[in-house]
Amino acid sequence: MSTLASEGYFGGIYQMMKSILIGMRITIKYCFSPVVTIRYPFERISFAPRYRGIHEFEAEKCIACDMCAKACPVDCIYIDKSAPRKIDKKTGTATGGDLLRYAIDYQKCMFCALCTEPCPTDCIHMGKNHDLSAYTREDMIVEFAELDKKGLRTPIPLWMERNAPTIPWVAREKERLERGEIATTEADIPEL
Ligand code: SF4
Ligand code: SF4
């Protein structure tokens, strides 16, 4: 009985030492392996041309036809207009009623891009921003028609507001958003 107990005691010590050595071996191995992560946001991530981030919306081209909302598999696009809208062929912008609301609920959006496919005026795009952390559920619903009144195509995330003063690439990206430039254009997408 005492022999068995003694083997169990020393066996436990053996197993503990063995697991420590295995852990140390793995740790040391990764200390000398090539780095595969970056210190984001101090270093910039490069995205694939077809990366699907937070949408960019050209409100002046939206005719509020609801085709994007109908295509959305999770029903997270909300649109309201005061009267029918249509594209003025001379200016290429929408005329008619007001676009009262164009909102996307990012608590539900799964970034599938199905909303961008049927748009007849090509005014809803998948952008490059990926981080839309917020303090409330309400803040996760982006009111794009309201952003348009401030000249924005997409929201400026909290992390960007906070890091722009100290990180140059973040400042440049924030300036791009403030200029209302969209990130994804046909020129960004290479031919297959
Ligand atoms: S990306 Fe997909 S889930 Fe998100 S709004 Fe568009 S269709 Fe809906
Ligand atoms: S499909 Fe395009 S034009 Fe129609 S409501 Fe959606 S964004 Fe606007």
Ligand 2 near 72 CB (within 6 A): no
Per the listing, tokens 């991530």 go with 45
Secondary structure of 38-57 as H, E, C letters: CCCCCCCCCCCCCCCCCEEE
Residue range 13-62, pLDDT digits in tens: 999 999 999 999 999 998 999 888 888 888 887 777 788 999 999 999 99
- How many whole angstroms separate alpha carbon 147 and alpha carbon 137? 18
- Ligand 2, atom 1, residue with closest C-alpha: 119
Give whole-number Cα distances, 128 to 48, 99, 143, 174, in Å. Answer: 9, 25, 18, 12
Q: Is the CB of 67 under 6 A from ligand 1?
A: no
Ligand that comes closest to the CA of residue 58: 2
Tell me the C-alpha distance between 108 and 73, whole Å. Answer: 10
- Give the dihedral sign, CA 36/41/45/50: positive
CA of 24 to the centre of ligand 2 (A): 56
* CA separation for the pair 128, 161 (Å, rounded): 16
pLDDT attached to residue 1? 47
Distance between terminal CA atoms of the chain?
Answer: 74
Ligand 2 neighbour 68 (Cβ under 6 A) = yes
Q: Sign of the CA dihedral 22, 23, 25, 29?
A: positive
Structure confidence by residue, pLDDT tens digits, 73-127: 999 999 999 999 999 999 999 999 999 999 999 999 999 999 999 999 999 999 9
For the chain, how big is the Rg over CA atoms in Å?
A: 26
Q: For residue range 56-85, what is the model confidence (pLDDT) as tens digits? A: 999 999 999 999 999 999 999 999 999 999
Q: How far apart are CA 27 and CA 146, in angstroms?
A: 50
Q: Which atom of ligand 1 is nearest to the CA of 126?
A: 1
Whole-prediction pTM = 0.81
Q: How many whole angstroms from 62 Cα to the centroid of ligand 2?
A: 5
Cα 27 to middle of ligand 2, angstroms:
52
Q: Strands 99-105, 124-126: parallel, antiparallel or unpaired by DSSP?
A: unpaired
Q: How far is the CA of 192 from the centre of ligand 2 (A)?
A: 26
User: How much distance in Å is there from the Cα of 180 to the middle of ligand 1?
Assistant: 21
Say how many Å lie between the CA of residue 77 and the centre of ligand 2: 10
Q: Is the CB of 183 under 6 A from ligand 2?
A: no
Running DSSP on this structure, what letter comes out for residue 52? -
Q: Which residue puts its alpha carbon closest to atom 2 of ligand 2?
A: 119
Which token pair is 110?
Answer: 């799964």
Burial class (CB in 10 A: 0-12, 13-18, 19+), 54: buried
